[in-house]
C-alpha cells in the first residue's frame, strides 16, 4: 500500500455489529495491519462514529490521563499546555515519530486516530515502519542494533517511567519497537547513546506522510509503526482511541522479521 495512494485503500466498516459484512471488513483491516502496520478507515465523521468503530475494532478502550470517560481523547492545539513534558501532542508543532505509551509496562497495541477537522496547512500524519527500521539496522548497523536491544537500552517517562529496549525480540522471529526521541521523555544508556544519530537517520529514511481528510482515520499497530505529526496552522481536530485488537483482526504479538544467522553477531538477528 503506497502511502501516496492511501486514499484508494481506506476501508469502510459499513454494516454495523451483528449485520452481514462486518467480519469481512474486520478481516480486511486485519490483513492491512499485518502487511503494512496500519489500516486506513473512512466514514468516521462524528464522535459517535469514532466511538462505535473503536469498539468494533479495539473492543475495550484504554482510559488514561488524557482521555474522556469513554476512552476517546480530543487532540487539538491547547496553547501553552503543549510546552509541558508529555503534552506535545496538544500543540501545533511537529510531533516526532513515536510509540504511544512508552512509559508504561504494556503500551496499547492499537491506536485509532480519526480526523474531525483538517488543518489550514500542514498537519500530515507521519508513519514509520518499525520493521523497515529493524531490517536496515540489522543489515547496515549491527552494533547499533545490539545496543538498542539491551533490556535497559532506554528509560521512557518521568519518575514513574519504564526501562525497555528500543527493539525487543519476543520469540518465534517476532519483534516489538518502543521509541520516543523527545529529550524530556527519553533517556538512553551509555551503550545506546552513541547510536542515536544512526537511529534518527534510519527513522527519517523510512518516514512517510498521510494527509487525513475529515471522516478518515488511521488504525495503527503501536508495536510496529511509529506515528507523529507535521506542524500545522488552523484548527486541526483529531479523536484518538487506544486499545487491544478485536480477535477477528487476527494479530499475533509484535511483527515478523526474517532471521538469518549470518547477521547474528553473537545473537540471532534479522537480515534484510
Q: How would DSSP label each residue in 103-158? A: TSSS--SEEEEEEEE--SEE--EEEEEHHHHHHHHHHH-HHHHHHHTSTTSEEESS
Question: Which contiguous run of DSSP H or E holds residue 171?
Answer: strand 167-171
Q: What is the structure's pLDDT at 260?
A: 60
Q: What is the structure's pLDDT at 19?
A: 59
Q: What is the structure's pLDDT at 270?
A: 46
Over the stretch 216-231, which tens digit does the pLDDT of each residue have?
Answer: 999 999 999 999 999 9
Q: Is the dihedral of CA 210, 187, 202, 249 positive or negative?
A: negative
Q: What is the structure's pLDDT at 20?
A: 64
C-alpha cell at position 169: 525480540
Q: What is the structure's pLDDT at 268?
A: 43
Q: How far is CA 161 from CA 40, 86, 101, 184, 191, in A?
A: 31, 12, 10, 12, 20
Q: What is the structure's pLDDT at 15?
A: 47
Helix (H, G, I), strand (E, B) or coil at 47: helix
Whole-angstrom Cα Rg for the chain: 18
Q: What is the structure's pLDDT at 242?
A: 98
Residues recorded for the chain = 272
Q: Looking at residue 182, what DSSP letter applies?
A: -
Q: Give me the tens of pLDDT residue by residue for the chain, a chain 272 residues long.
A: 434 334 446 888 754 555 568 888 999 999 999 999 999 999 999 999 999 999 999 978 999 988 999 999 999 988 887 778 777 888 999 999 999 999 999 999 999 999 999 999 999 999 999 999 999 999 999 999 999 999 999 999 988 899 999 999 998 889 999 999 998 899 999 999 999 999 999 999 999 999 999 999 999 999 999 999 999 999 999 999 999 999 999 999 999 987 464 454 434 444 43
* C-beta neighbour count of 234 within 10 angstroms: 14
Sheet strands side by side (includes 174-177): 167-171, 174-177, 255-256
Q: What is the structure's pLDDT at 1?
A: 43
Domain extent listing, the chain: 8-263
Topology of domain 8-263, per CATH?
A: Double-stranded beta-helix (3.60.130)
Q: How far is CA 229 from CA 10, 201, 271, in A?
A: 19, 17, 30
Q: What is the structure's pLDDT at 90?
A: 85
Q: What is the structure's pLDDT at 266?
A: 39
Amino acid at each position: 500500500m503506497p502511502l501516496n495512494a492511501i486514499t484508494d485503500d481506506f476501508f469502510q466498516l459499513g454494516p454495523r455489529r451483528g449485520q452481514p459484512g462486518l467480519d469481512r471488513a474486520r478481516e480486511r483491516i486485519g490483513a492491512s495491519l499485518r502487511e503494512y502496520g496500519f489500516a486506513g478507515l473512512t466514514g468516521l465523521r462524528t464522535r459517535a462514529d469514532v466511538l462505535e468503530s473503536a469498539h468494533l475494532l479495539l473492543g475495550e478502550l484504554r482510559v488514561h490521563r488524557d482521555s474522556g470517560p469513554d476512552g476517546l481523547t480530543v487532540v487539538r492545539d491547547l496553547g501553552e499546555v503543549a510546552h509541558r513534558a508529555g503534552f506535545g501532542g496538544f500543540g501545533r508543532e511537529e510531533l516526532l515519530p513515536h510509540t504511544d505509551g512508552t512509559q508504561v509496562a504494556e503500551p496499547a497495541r492499537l491506536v485509532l486516530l480519526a480526523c474531525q477537522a483538517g488543518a489550514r496547512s500542514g498537519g500530515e500524519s507521519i508513519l514509520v515502519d518499525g520493521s523497515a527500521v529493524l531490517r536496515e539496522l540489522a543489515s547496515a548497523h549491527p552494533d547499533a542494533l545490539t545496543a538498542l536491544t539491551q533490556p535497559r537500552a532506554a528509560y521512557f517517562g518521568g519518575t514513574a517511567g519504564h526501562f525497555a529496549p528500543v527493539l525487543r525480540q519476543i520469540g518465534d522471529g517476532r519483534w516489538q519497537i518502543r521509541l520516543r526521541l523527545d529529550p524530556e521523555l527519553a533517556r538512553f544508556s551509555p551503550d545506546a547513546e552513541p547510536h542515536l544519530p544512526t537511529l534518527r537517520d534510519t527513522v527519517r529514511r523510512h518516514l512517510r506522510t498521510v494527509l487525513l481528510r475529515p471522516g478518515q482515520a488511521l488504525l495503527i499497530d503501536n508495536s510496529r509503526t511509529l506515528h507523529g505529526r507535521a506542524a500545522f496552522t488552523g484548527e486541526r481536530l483529531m479523536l484518538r482511541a487506544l486499545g487491544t485488537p478485536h480477535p477477528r483482526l487476527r494479530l499475533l504479538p509484535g511483527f515478523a522479521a526474517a532471521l538469518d544467522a549470518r547477521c547474528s553477531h553473537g545473537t540471532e538477528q534479522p537480515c534484510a
